[in-house]
Amino acid sequence: MEEKKPLMVAIAVLGGTGKEGKGLAYRWAKAGYRVLIGSRSSERAVTAASEIMELLEGSTSVVGMSNREAAEQANIVVLTVPYAAHRDTLESVKNVLQGKILIDVTAPLVPPKVTKVQMPPAGSAAQEAKEILGAGVEVVAAFQTISHEHLLTDEDIDCDVLVTGSSKDARAEALTLVEAAGLTGWDAGPIENSVVVEGLTSVLININKQYGSKHSGIKITGVPRKE
């Protein structure tokens, strides 16, 4: 079998030291992408990158650095910070994101009532990101319905990803990364629809609490699926 060559696209995962970010980084690195782990602490980012490299036995490129350095060097930037850090993180990298795609994984959870849907004034975290970053950045919302419990493993994930965003081309790019992560994705329409997708996070957290699980998700039915 021909050895898999790394893809040219570099993906920055801001807040990549958390469970969601680290899991996505692991899956994209395994698929052959160059992955840049970003964090407010470069030291923590380097540690997280080393942990992923160890899991993959050094077979791909994962590098840790500051959020700003990662955003500057990447083609596509993925934001996986808690909502409390959402605005500050975006403001800190705004100028280096221009002309790029941001995939916003943030769900606007407001502790302690994380089982209650509480959307920001902009409508959703993704719409807030678009307001902050301006017309020069395409913003996509994705992965809000995937439990981080699944990601840092090689298991198949029986759950779908709904992708909304500011343009069809940006959503298509995000759907490519959804597939690369071993998941099934669906184009769920314009960025305004992200209010529904982000709100599902609280619904799923509530279901997990009510039924003693950590793995609830969603699946789209009635539409032909890729083989």
pLDDT tens track of the chain, all 227 residues?
344 444 458 999 999 999 999 999 999 999 999 999 999 999 999 999 999 999 998 777 899 999 999 999 999 999 999 999 999 999 999 999 999 999 999 999 999 999 999 999 999 999 999 999 999 999 999 999 998 888 988 888 989 999 999 999 999 999 999 999 999 999 999 999 999 999 999 999 999 999 999 889 999 999 988 76
Q: How far apart are CA 62 and CA 42, in angstroms?
A: 13
Task: Beginning with the edge strand found earlier in the chain, give each strand of the sheet holding 34-39 in spatial order.
Answer: 62-66, 34-39, 10-14, 76-79, 101-104, 138-141, 160-165, 184-190
Q: How far apart are CA 204 and CA 81, in angstroms?
A: 19
Structure confidence at residue 138 (pLDDT): 98
CB-CB neighbours of 68 under 10 Å: 17
Structure confidence at residue 225 (pLDDT): 82
Q: How far apart are CA 203 and CA 7, in angstroms?
A: 36
Residue for token digits 């958390």? 18
Residue for token digits 């021909």? 2
Cβ pair 52, 29 in contact under 8 A:
yes
Helix and strand numbers, DSSP H then E, in the chain = 8, 8
Structure confidence at residue 27 (pLDDT): 96
Coil, helix or strand at residue 13: strand
Structure confidence at residue 227 (pLDDT): 65
Structure confidence at residue 44 (pLDDT): 96
Structure confidence at residue 186 (pLDDT): 97
pTM: 0.93
Domain 10-211, CATH homologous superfamily name and number? NAD(P)-binding Rossmann-like Domain (3.40.50.720)
Residue for token digits 């909304």? 164
